[in-house]
C-alpha cells in the first residue's frame, strides 16, 4: 500500500495539462497577435501600449484543468509616466487614484503627443484624475473596430474560428469557438514604477493599476483603481520547490468540489503569499514533502475560513472574503475540514478506505476511475 506522499505523486499526473497545452497555446498566440496588431493600428493606442503579459493561472504556471481561459494583461504607459501622481484611496482599501496633472502639463508642450493629449483629456476629471469608464469606453471602441476588421473570425492553420466580444468588469473578453473553444480576458493595466508604489512593501518591479469598475448606484465618475503587483507576486512564489506543486493541489481540490467554487484562484494564491511572507521568503521550508506542506496549507485555508477573513497581501485593510455569505463560508469550511482530516489520517496510517478517500479529495469520479482505485466500502 502506497503512503500519502506516493499517492500525491500519482494524483499529480491528473493535474498536469501538458497534453492539451500546445494546441490551445498556439491558437491563442495567433489570436493575441491578430487582436493586438489591429489595436496598434490606432496611433494613440500604439503610443500608449507597452506590451502584454500572460497573467493568471496560465502565466503563473498554475493551471490545473483544461487550458480554456487566458488572462492577457496589456500595459498602458503614459508619456512622462514618472510624473503620474499616485494617491491612496482612503475609502477603498487596496485602491488608488491616478492624477495625470503633471503629465498633461508636460506633454501640452510636445507637438508629437497632440493626439495622445486629446485622448487623455477625454478620460480625466476636471482635476485630471483618470476615469475608469471613460478609459474603457475608448478601449471598447477600439475592440469593436478590431472585431469588425477581422469580421469576427480568425483563421489558424486554414481553419476558421468564430470570435465574440463582450465587456465584463475590467476585461475586454474575446470568446473563441472551434476548433479550440476558449476565452481570453484582455485586461488593461496602467503601468507604474516602483518609486510610485504606496504599499510600503519596498517592491523592486513595476506594478499596475487595474480599471476595475465598482458596483455602485452613484452616478459620479469612478476614479478608484485596484492595485496589482503581478511581477512581485511571481517573484515571491517562484523558485520555491514545492510551493507551486502544493498550490496546484489546492486548486485541484477546489475544482473537484462544487461547494468550493467560491474560493477564487487569487484567494488561494494570497494564502501562499502570506505563508511565504511568514517564512521570510526562506526557500528551505518549501523543500519539505508535498504531504507536510499540503497539510499545513489546508490548515491555513481552514483558519482563514473559520475567521471569515483573508487580508489582501498588498493592503491588509482589504478583506478579500468580505463579499462572501455565511452559507458559502460554512460550505467551504466543512469541505476543507473534512479533506484536511482525511489527509492527516492517511499520513499517519494508510488503509484501503483512506487511500480511496485521498484520491477523492482531489479527483472527480471520472479521474478516479482512470486510477483503477475503487471504494472498498
The grid coordinates of residue 3 equal 503512503
Percent with pLDDT over 70 in the chain: 97
Indicate whether 142 and 252 sit together in one domain. no
Instruction: State whether 32 and 123 are in the same domain.
Output: yes
244 and 153 belong to one structural domain: no
* pLDDT at residue 331 tops 90: yes
Mean pLDDT of the chain: 93
| Claim to verify: residue 341 and residue 209 sit in the same structural domain | no
pLDDT number for residue 65: 66
Strand (E) or helix (H) holding 11: helix 4-11
Number of structural domains, the chain?
2
Same-domain check for residues 197 and 290: no
Say whether both 281 and 220 belong to one domain: no
pLDDT in tens, 215-250: 877 789 999 999 999 999 999 999 999 999 999 999
What CA–CA distance (Å, rounded) separates 346 from 356?
10
Among 195, 213, 230, where does a domain finish?
230
Among 207, 230, 253, where does a domain finish? 230
Tens digits of residue pLDDT in 94-114: 999 999 999 999 999 999 999
Do 248 and 176 share a structural domain? Answer: no
Same-domain pairing of 103 and 223? yes
**pLDDT given at position 179:** 87
Report the relative pairing of strands 182-192 and 69-76 from DSSP bridges.
parallel
The highest-confidence range among 68-72, 129-133, 201-205, by mean pLDDT, is: 129-133
Q: Are residues 208 and 142 in the same domain?
A: yes
pLDDT tens per residue, range 19-73: 677 888 899 999 999 999 999 999 999 999 999 998 877 667 777 766 788 999 9
Query: Which residue in this structure is represented by grid cell 498554475?
Result: 62
Q: Could you tell me if residue 41 is inside a domain?
A: yes
> In this structure, is residue 293 part of a structural domain?
yes
Q: For residues 364-369, give the mean pLDDT.
A: 90
- The boundaries of the domain holding residue 108 are 18-230
Residues 152 and 294 in one domain: no
Cα–Cα distances in angstroms (integers) from residue 347 to residues 2, 152, 343, in the given order: 10, 53, 6
Say whether pTM exceeds 0.85.
Answer: yes
Please report, for the domain that includes residue 313, its CATH number: 1.10.1410.40
- Whether residues 23 and 76 fall in one domain: yes
Domain annotation covers residue 316: yes
For residues 126 and 27, membership in a common domain is answered with yes
Q: Which DSSP category does 288 fall into? A: S
Q: What is the pLDDT of residue 158?
A: 92
Q: Which of 206, 230, 254 is the last residue of a domain?
A: 230
Res 306 pLDDT > 80: yes
The angle formed by the CA atoms of residues 60, 65 and 69, to the nearest 5 degrees, is 65
Amino acid at each position: 500500500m502506497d503512503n500519502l506522499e506516493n499517492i500525491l505523486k500519482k494524483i499529480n499526473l491528473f493535474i498536469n495539462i501538458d497534453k492539451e497545452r500546445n494546441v490551445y497555446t498556439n491558437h491563442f498566440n495567433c489570436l493575441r497577435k491578430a487582436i493586438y496588431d489591429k489595436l496598434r493600428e490606432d496611433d494613440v493606442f500604439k503610443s500608449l501600449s507597452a506590451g502584454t503579459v500572460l497573467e493568471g493561472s496560465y502565466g503563473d504556471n498554475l493551471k490545473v484543468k483544461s487550458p480554456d481561459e487566458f488572462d492577457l494583461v496589456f500595459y498602458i504607459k503614459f508619456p512622462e509616466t514618472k510624473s503620474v501622481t499616485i494617491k491612496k484611496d482612503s475609502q477603498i482599501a487596496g485602491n488608488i487614484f491616478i492624477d495625470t496633472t503633471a503629465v498633461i502639463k508636460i506633454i501640452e508642450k510636445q507637438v508629437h503627443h497632440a493626439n495622445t493629449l486629446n485622448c487623455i483629456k477625454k478620460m480625466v476629471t476636471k482635476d485630471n484624475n483618470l476615469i475608469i469608464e471613460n478609459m474603457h469606453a475608448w478601449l471598447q471602441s477600439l475592440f469593436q473596430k478590431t472585431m469588425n476588421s477581422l469580421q469576427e473570425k480568425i483563421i489558424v492553420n486554414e481553419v476558421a474560428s468564430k470570435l465574440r466580444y463582450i465587456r465584463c468588469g475590467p476585461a475586454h473578453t474575446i470568446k473563441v469557438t472551434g476548433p479550440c473553444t476558449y476565452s481570453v480576458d484582455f485586461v488593461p493595466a496602467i503601468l507604474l514604477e516602483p518609486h510610485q508604489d504606496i504599499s510600503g512593501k519596498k517592491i523592486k518591479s513595476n506594478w499596475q493599476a487595474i480599471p476595475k469598475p465598482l458596483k455602485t448606484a452613484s452616478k459620479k465618475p469612478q476614479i478608484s483603481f485596484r492595485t496589482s503587483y503581478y511581477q512581485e507576486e511571481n517573484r515571491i512564489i517562484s523558485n520555491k520547490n514545492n510551493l507551486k506543486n502544493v498550490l496546484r493541489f489546492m486548486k485541484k481540490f477546489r475544482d473537484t468540489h462544487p461547494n468550493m467554487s467560491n474560493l477564487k484562484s487569487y484567494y488561494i494564491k494570497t494564502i501562499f503569499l502570506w505563508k511565504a511572507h511568514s517564512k521570510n521568503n526562506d526557500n528551505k521550508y518549501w523543500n519539505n514533502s508535498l504531504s507536510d506542506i499540503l497539510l499545513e496549507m489546508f490548515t491555513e485555508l481552514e483558519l482563514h475560513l473559520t475567521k471569515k477573513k483573508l487580508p489582501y497581501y498588498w493592503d491588509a485593510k482589504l478583506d478579500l472574503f468580505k463579499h462572501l455569505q455565511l452559507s458559502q463560508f460554512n460550505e467551504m469550511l466543512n469541505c476543507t475540514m473534512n479533506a484536511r482530516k482525511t489527509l492527516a489520517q492517511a499520513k499517519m496510517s494508510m488503509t484501503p478506505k483512506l487511500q480511496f478517500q485521498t484520491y477523492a479529495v482531489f479527483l472527480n469520479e471520472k479521474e478516479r476511475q482512470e486510477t483503477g482505485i475503487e471504494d472498498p466500502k
